[in-house]
């Protein structure tokens, strides 16, 4: 029990009168209308720069809160703050009331009290002026890729949580992304006005609600704990949590109140902060602080409620009950000066004016950002190893770690921002090392660049550097390390993202990992055929403008656009039709992206021979563990890891043989997917010479599987043996690559092929009386409910369910109809699951029907090719002697050949497959020596040319 004598008198005063001190000394943080020159000067002090993103679930109030900062900066008028959503710069953002694209803006801020700088722990500062580079990001789950792009270029995050709804599915997603990028979070609990006005909660209930929300956030943070980042959990009594209302423009931190009380009563502010949160009570009878909530059988009021919530509740009660005299008395006690216009207001408008004057939101937010978020100098020390792919001690890595403006240029472009000049883009990114200037010549390294090679590399000059200011840009001559920049003139050399450097030996900065996958597709075509070139150009621009969208053209000439969800796809196609292509389009119904997989090990070893008959490849396929797939897709196990360290993880965590784990040749598709090519051969000559060709064939095969030309997933291909011609001219890429593709197809078709469908995690907030409708809709759509809980203190229930993406089209409308508009769903891609309904190879099954529809849509032969069309022999594993017997067969008649095969095959095996294979391929069953074709094989009309199947 503590008894600081200066606070003895506190019992005799009301909480409100205590707060008279508040505005008598509080010279609020100043934002000035600033010039580009002032911002440029601050850029040279990287320790006074704060790069931060505003992240949250949809509709929790990010853009509205950001308005408070912009109004203080003089960018928008105070009257419009909260309603204007100035960072929503697109017409459809204002119309729909949601943020679609992340928007950057630079602000100039100042700490009023030089003493406050002492509270910045663990990092240096230079003066009281600060540059805040703020990025407002979308909250809708479909636009998560925009959040990823924003997080990559920032070091801190302001996490906004709705008081009433609490931590939602997207709150967890964005927090997980932030922590994965080693970004430090601070939290604001927003929409406190809803709790007071709509739910009419008591002070203690509000405290408990705050406490639960903070605990939920900390559970997520501790789940993704990173040793190098340290403890980044948030604590109100340490000033890393704020409370407020973005719409009404007010917010506070416990530090602000503690400062005011500490100054008034001459006590230590840090002690005061500890007492204003948690189980701390001030006993008016004994005039002492206590941890015990009762005294002589009476309940004591919690310090947070008594000294912080009480004055706020009193203001709300007086204003909303239209008690003018009481309101005037409160304003006088608190020394709040309102303008004549504001004094005439009533109800919510007056409340807004009073609370904005009493607790300006920008003050609390700015204090939190400056005191608790890291500067680039601090952050890049621990972020460098996760950002840079190269060695930790080369010039680029050292430049990044030291945030050195004089080091080699290392700049990461995280996204492309359309300019007013149609078809051109600003490259938006962050300078991690060196200084970027207008006119400087740089190496533009795309995501597939490999040091020492020239693929995906351009050397070009940057035309101009600009400062991003919401929907506008300001020209600026140069920009040193630690700052966020827009670049003009390099957009045609980068697709979506990449690394810019002046160092010839520099490796890439790591490619971003997106939390959503483009799993919903639509095909587009022109209404007028003459507009086709415009559509093709428009698709290129669309692909550049959105980090997550995928555009492709099938062999049938169909143009496909894939997005993360229905809304994302709708926005993309709207942009395509109205902006990027500017021509009327015919858009198909949405379809789902599937993945091809296997359910067992290949029943036989597949063998394929090259078109010139001189090379043979033996292959088997087997499934990969789902946990390992998630690790690969999450970047925890990657092709760029040290092969020994990766082998140890695979052996320890996933039961792999260490020898196999060390001999992984590549990942696929696109060198990063969850399919593996493993070398299990023993003492094969010339193997390394064909490695690149086999890897290319593997990438081709995994990008377009045999069942429906969908990408493969979760398949491990083992190279069992290879027989190669001694002369290198006979084992070139043209011979090996298509052969590899065919043998991979055969191996997967022999391993119980299946289709994986994407599944959404759906979180639905709904009142109790409408829950029946939700369950009905989910059941009809193959949904599976796995969680249901009531949000304490509200009538709302949160239902969590899995819903196949294939069944999600029109789900929102269906749900609104079934619940009279009372249910609010959020869907995020969660996992892949086997599509039920039989084998994809059986055209009579449900899955087979889906496969046939897909093949028809893609303009390829409707029947799935049999194994005989992609492989020459199917061999019993462990039968090398039999293989040799078979390969040296020179019998000229089908009958005797068939007899030999029957003698060699497994009991009961269907040999007609092998025989039909013999008939179809002109080079079947040759001897080891090149010789004339057997009469058995005819003229080879059915031969497979260069890897084409049909």
- Cα distance between residue 563 and residue 620, in whole Å: 34
For residue 378, tell me if it sits in a domain. no
- Cα distance between residue 319 and residue 342, in whole Å: 13
Residue closest to 803 by CA, chosen among 770, 771, 825, 772? 825
Strand pairing category for 49-56 and 156-162: parallel
User: Is 458 exposed, middle or buried, given 0-12, 13-18 or 19+ CB atoms closer than 10 A?
Assistant: middle
Same domain, 638 and 617: yes
Q: Is the pLDDT of residue 228 over 80?
A: no
For residue 376, tell me if it sits in a domain. no
**Three-state SS at 525:** strand
- Cα distance between residue 253 and residue 205, in whole Å: 19
Same domain, 191 and 276: no
For residue 372, tell me if it sits in a domain. no
Strand pairing category for 464-469 and 472-475: antiparallel
Residue closest to 865 by CA, chosen among 761, 700, 742? 742
Q: Is the pLDDT of residue 553 over 70?
A: yes
Question: Any bridge partners for residue 786, and if so which?
Answer: none
173 contacts 139 by C-beta, under 8 angstroms: no
913 contacts 867 by C-beta, under 8 angstroms: yes
pLDDT greater at residue 634 or residue 739: 739
Average pLDDT over residues 5-31: 35
**What percentage of the chain reaches a pLDDT higher than 90?**
7
Same domain, 718 and 799: no
- Cα distance between residue 273 and residue 237, in whole Å: 5
For residue 541, tell me if it sits in a domain. yes
**What CATH number should be reported for the domain holding residue 564?**
3.30.70.870
Q: Which of 30-34, 809-813, 831-835, 863-867 has the highest mean pLDDT?
A: 831-835
270 contacts 119 by C-beta, under 8 angstroms: no
Sign of the CA dihedral with 273 first, then 276, 278, and 284 last: positive
Dihedral in degrees, nearest 10, Cα atoms 626, 630, 631, 636:
170
H/E stretch holding 912 reads helix 912-920
850 contacts 863 by C-beta, under 8 angstroms: no
Domain end call among 538, 572, 592: 592
Residue closest to 754 by CA, chosen among 789, 788, 727, 714? 714
Q: Is the pLDDT of residue 940 over 60?
A: no
Q: Is the pLDDT of residue 457 over 50?
A: yes
pLDDT greater at residue 502 or residue 866: 502
Determine the pLDDT at residue 877.
42
Dihedral in degrees, nearest 10, Cα atoms 640, 642, 643, 646:
-90
806 contacts 520 by C-beta, under 8 angstroms: no
Question: Any bridge partners for residue 561, and if so which?
Answer: 522, 551
Residue closest to 940 by CA, chosen among 921, 918, 926, 917? 921
Average pLDDT over residues 139-159: 82
542 contacts 571 by C-beta, under 8 angstroms: no
DSSP E strand boundaries for 375-449: 410-418, 425-433, 435-437, 441-445
Determine the pLDDT at residue 620.
92
Q: Is the pLDDT of residue 889 over 80?
A: no
Average pLDDT over residues 476-495: 86
CA distance readout (Å), 545 to 431, 541, 558: 21, 6, 21
For the chain, helix, strand, coil in percent to 5 are 40, 25, 40
For residue 365, tell me if it sits in a domain. no
**Three-state SS at 679:** strand
**pLDDT category, 81, cuts 50, 70, 90?**
low
Determine the pLDDT at residue 933.
35
Minimum mean pLDDT among 50-64, 298-312, 626-640, 899-913: which range?
899-913
Same domain, 426 and 444: yes
Determine the pLDDT at residue 293.
73
Same domain, 738 and 775: no
In the sheet that holds 675-679, the strands lie side by side as 664-668, 675-679, 715-723, 616-623, 605-609, 873-875
pTM over 0.85, yes/no: no
Sign of the CA dihedral with 257 first, then 261, 264, and 269 last: negative
Length of the chain as a residue count: 950
460 contacts 492 by C-beta, under 8 angstroms: no
Q: What is the pLDDT of residues 413-440, one digit of tens each?
A: 888 887 777 778 888 889 999 999 888 8
Q: What is the pLDDT of residues 245-284, one digit of tens each?
A: 888 888 888 888 888 888 777 788 888 888 888 888 877 7
Count CB-CB contacts under 10 A for residue 340: 6
DSSP assignment letter at 407: S
Determine the pLDDT at residue 141.
72
For residue 851, tell me if it sits in a domain. no
pLDDT greater at residue 734 or residue 121: 734
What single string gives the DSSP state of each residue in 380-394? HHHHHHHHB-S-TTS
Token pair of 116 as six digits: 């406050």
**pLDDT category, 471, cuts 50, 70, 90?**
low
Same domain, 274 and 401: no
- What's the gap between Cα 712 and its chain centre? 22
Determine the pLDDT at residue 8.
38
**pLDDT category, 97, cuts 50, 70, 90?**
low
Domain end call among 251, 269, 301: 251
How many H-runs (helices) and E-runs (strands) does the chain carry? 32, 38
Residue closest to 273 by CA, chosen among 240, 230, 245? 240
Residue partners of 910: CB distance under 8 A and separation at least 6: none
What single string gives the DSSP state of each residue in 691-705? HHHHHHHHHHHHHS-
**What percentage of the chain reaches a pLDDT higher than 70?**
83
42 contacts 124 by C-beta, under 8 angstroms: no
Omega before residue 864 within 30° of 0, cis: no
**Three-state SS at 927:** coil
CA distance readout (Å), 735 to 313, 621, 853, 868: 79, 22, 33, 19
**What is the residue-averaged pLDDT of the chain?**
77
- Cα distance between residue 325 and residue 331, in whole Å: 10
Average pLDDT over residues 762-769: 85
- Cα distance between residue 782 and residue 844, in whole Å: 21
Same domain, 262 and 241: no
Q: Is the pLDDT of residue 15 over 60?
A: no
Minimum mean pLDDT among 81-90, 529-538, 593-602: which range?
81-90
Token pair of 227 as six digits: 């040793």
Q: What is the pLDDT of residues 271-318, one digit of tens each?
A: 888 888 888 887 777 777 788 777 777 778 888 888 888 888 888 888
Determine the pLDDT at residue 14.
33
Determine the pLDDT at residue 597.
92
Determine the pLDDT at residue 89.
55
CA distance readout (Å), 913 to 602, 865, 872: 16, 13, 10
pLDDT greater at residue 584 or residue 871: 584
Count CB-CB contacts under 10 A for residue 942: 15
Q: Is the pLDDT of residue 88 over 80?
A: no
Residue closest to 177 by CA, chosen among 649, 828, 785? 828
Determine the pLDDT at residue 74.
54
Determine the pLDDT at residue 744.
92
Residue with tokens 């000049």: 421
Count CB-CB contacts under 10 A for residue 877: 13
CA distance readout (Å), 487 to 399, 462, 500: 21, 7, 11
Question: Any bridge partners for residue 918, and if so which?
Answer: none
For residue 842, tell me if it sits in a domain. no
Omega before residue 669 within 30° of 0, cis: yes
Question: Any bridge partners for residue 678, and if so which?
Answer: 664, 718
Determine the pLDDT at residue 96.
65
Residue with tokens 């020459």: 872
Same domain, 266 and 225: no
Determine the pLDDT at residue 802.
92
Q: Is the pLDDT of residue 694 over 80?
A: yes
Same domain, 42 and 166: yes
**What CATH number should be reported for the domain holding residue 668?**
3.30.230.10
For residue 556, tell me if it sits in a domain. yes
Strand pairing category for 585-587 and 520-526: antiparallel
Same domain, 537 and 459: no
pLDDT greater at residue 883 or residue 268: 268
**Three-state SS at 346:** coil
Determine the pLDDT at residue 186.
92
Average pLDDT over residues 391-395: 85
Question: Any bridge partners for residue 127, and if so which?
Answer: none
Minimum mean pLDDT among 139-143, 266-270, 762-766: which range?
139-143
- Cα distance between residue 449 and residue 503, in whole Å: 14
**pLDDT category, 76, cuts 50, 70, 90?**
low
Same domain, 586 and 617: no
**What CATH number should be reported for the domain holding residue 472?**
2.40.30.10
The parent domain of residue 451 ranges over 388-501
Same domain, 622 and 574: no
664-688 per-residue burial string, b: 16 or more CB within 10 A, e: under 16: bbbbbbebbbbbbbbbbeeeeeeee
Residue closest to 285 by CA, chosen among 5, 11, 10, 6? 11
Number of domains in the chain: 7
Domain end call among 690, 724, 751: 751
């Amino acid at each position: 029990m503590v008894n600081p004598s200066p606070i003895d008198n506190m019992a005799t005063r009301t909480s409100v009168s205590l707060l008279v001190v508040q505005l008598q000394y509080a010279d609020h943080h100043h934002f000035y209308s600033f010039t580009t020159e002032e911002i440029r000067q601050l850029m040279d002090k990287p320790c006074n720069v704060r790069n931060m993103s505003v992240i949250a679930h949809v509709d929790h109030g990010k853009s509205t809160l950001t308005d408070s900062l912009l109004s203080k900066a003089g960018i928008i008028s105070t009257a419009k703050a909260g309603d204007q959503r100035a960072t929503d710069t697109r017409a459809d953002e204002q119309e729909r009331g949601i943020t679609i694209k992340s928007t950057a803006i630079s602000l100039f801020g100042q700490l009023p009290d030089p003493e406050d700088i002492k509270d910045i722990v663990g990092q240096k500062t230079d003066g009281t002026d600060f540059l805040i580079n703020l990025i407002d990001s979308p909250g809708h789950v479909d636009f998560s890729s925009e959040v990823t792009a924003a997080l990559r270029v920032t070091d801190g995050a302001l996490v906004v949580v709705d008081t009433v709804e609490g931590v939602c599915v997207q709150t967890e997603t964005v927090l997980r992304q932030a922590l994965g990028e080693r970004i430090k979070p601070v939290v604001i609990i927003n929409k406190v006005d809803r709790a007071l006005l709509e739910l009419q909660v008591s002070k203690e209930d509000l405290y408990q609600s705050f406490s639960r929300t903070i605990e939920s956030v900390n559970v997520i943070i501790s789940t993704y704990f990173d040793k190098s980042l340290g403890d980044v959990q948030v604590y109100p009594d340490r000033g890393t949590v704020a409370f407020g209302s973005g719409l009404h423009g007010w917010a506070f931190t416990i530090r602000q109140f503690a400062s005011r009380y500490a100054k008034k009563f001459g006590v230590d502010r840090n002690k005061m902060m500890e007492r204003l949160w948690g189980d701390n009570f001030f006993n008016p009878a004994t005039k002492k602080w206590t941890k015990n909530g009762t005294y002589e059988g009476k309940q004591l009021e919690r310090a947070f409620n008594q000294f912080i919530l009480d004055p706020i509740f009193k203001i709300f009660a007086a204003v909303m009950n239209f008690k003018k005299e009481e309101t005037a008395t409160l304003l006088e006690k608190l020394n709040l000066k309102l303008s004549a216009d504001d004094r005439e207001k009533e109800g919510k408008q007056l409340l807004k004016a009073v609370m904005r004057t009493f607790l300006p939101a920008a003050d609390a937010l700015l204090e939190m950002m400056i005191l608790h978020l890291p500067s680039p100098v601090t952050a890049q020390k621990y972020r460098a190893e996760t950002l840079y792919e190269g060695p930790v001690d080369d010039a680029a890595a050292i430049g990044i770690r030291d945030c050195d403006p004089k080091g080699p240029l290392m700049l990461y472009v995280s996204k492309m921002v359309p300019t007013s000049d149609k078809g051109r883009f600003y490259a938006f990114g962050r300078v991690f090392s060196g200084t970027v200037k207008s006119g400087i010549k740089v190496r533009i390294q795309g995501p597939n660049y490999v040091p020492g090679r020239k693929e995906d590399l351009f050397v070009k000059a940057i035309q101009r550097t600009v400062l991003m200011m919401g929907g506008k840009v300001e020209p600026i001559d140069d920009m040193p390390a630690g700052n966020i920049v827009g670049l003009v003139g390099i957009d045609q050399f980068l697709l979506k993202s990449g690394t810019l450097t002046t160092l010839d030996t520099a490796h890439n900065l790591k490619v971003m990992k997106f939390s959503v996958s483009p799993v919903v597709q639509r095909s587009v075509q022109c209404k007028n055929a003459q507009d086709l070139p415009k559509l093709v150009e428009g698709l290129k621009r669309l692909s550049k403008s959105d980090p997550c969208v995928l555009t492709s053209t099938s062999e049938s000439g169909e143009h496909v656009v894939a997005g993360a969800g229905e809304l994302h796809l709708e926005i993309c196609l709207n942009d395509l039709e109205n902006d990027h292509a500017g021509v009327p389009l015919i858009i198909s119904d949405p379809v789902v992206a599937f993945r091809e997989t296997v359910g067992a090990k290949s029943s036989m070893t597949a063998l394929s021979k090259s078109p010139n008959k001189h090379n043979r490849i033996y292959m088997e396929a087997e499934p990969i563990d789902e946990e390992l797939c998630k690790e690969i897709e999450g970047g925890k196990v990657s092709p760029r890891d040290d092969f020994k360290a990766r082998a140890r993880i695979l052996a320890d965590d996933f039961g792999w043989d260490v020898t196999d784990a060390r001999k992984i040749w590549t990942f696929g598709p696109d060198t990063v997917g969850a399919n593996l090519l493993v070398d299990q051969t023993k003492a094969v000559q010339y193997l390394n010479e064909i490695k690149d060709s086999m890897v290319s064939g593997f990438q081709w095969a995994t990008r377009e599987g045999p069942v429906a030309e969908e990408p493969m997933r979760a398949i491990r291909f083992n190279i069992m043996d290879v027989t190669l011609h001694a002369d290198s001219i006979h084992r070139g890429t043209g011979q090996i690559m298509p052969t590899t593709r065919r043998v991979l197809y055969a191996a997967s078709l022999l391993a119980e092929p299946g289709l994986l469908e994407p599944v959404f995690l759906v979180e639905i907030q709904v009142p109790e009386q409408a829950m029946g409708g939700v369950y009905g809709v989910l059941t009809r759509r193959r949904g599976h409910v796995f969680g249901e809980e009531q949000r304490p203190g509200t009538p709302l229930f949160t239902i969590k369910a899995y819903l196949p993406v294939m069944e999600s089209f029109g789900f929102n409308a269906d749900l609104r109809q079934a619940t009279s508009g009372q249910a609010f769903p959020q869907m995020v891609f969660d996992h892949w699951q086997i599509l039920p309904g039989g084998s994809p190879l059986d055209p009579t099954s449900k899955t087979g029907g889906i496969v046939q529809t897909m093949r028809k849509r893609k303009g390829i032969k409707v029947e799935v090719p049999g194994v005989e069309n992609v492989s020459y022999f199917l061999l019993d594993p462990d039968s090398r002697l039999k293989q040799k017997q078979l390969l040296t067969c020179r019998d000229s008649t089908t009958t005797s050949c068939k007899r030999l095969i029957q003698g060699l095959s497994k009991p009961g095996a269907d040999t007609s497959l092998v025989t039909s294979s013999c008939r179809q391929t002109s080079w079947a069953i040759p001897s080891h020596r090149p010789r004339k074709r057997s009469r058995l094989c005819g003229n080879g009309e059915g031969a497979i040319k260069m890897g084409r199947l049909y």
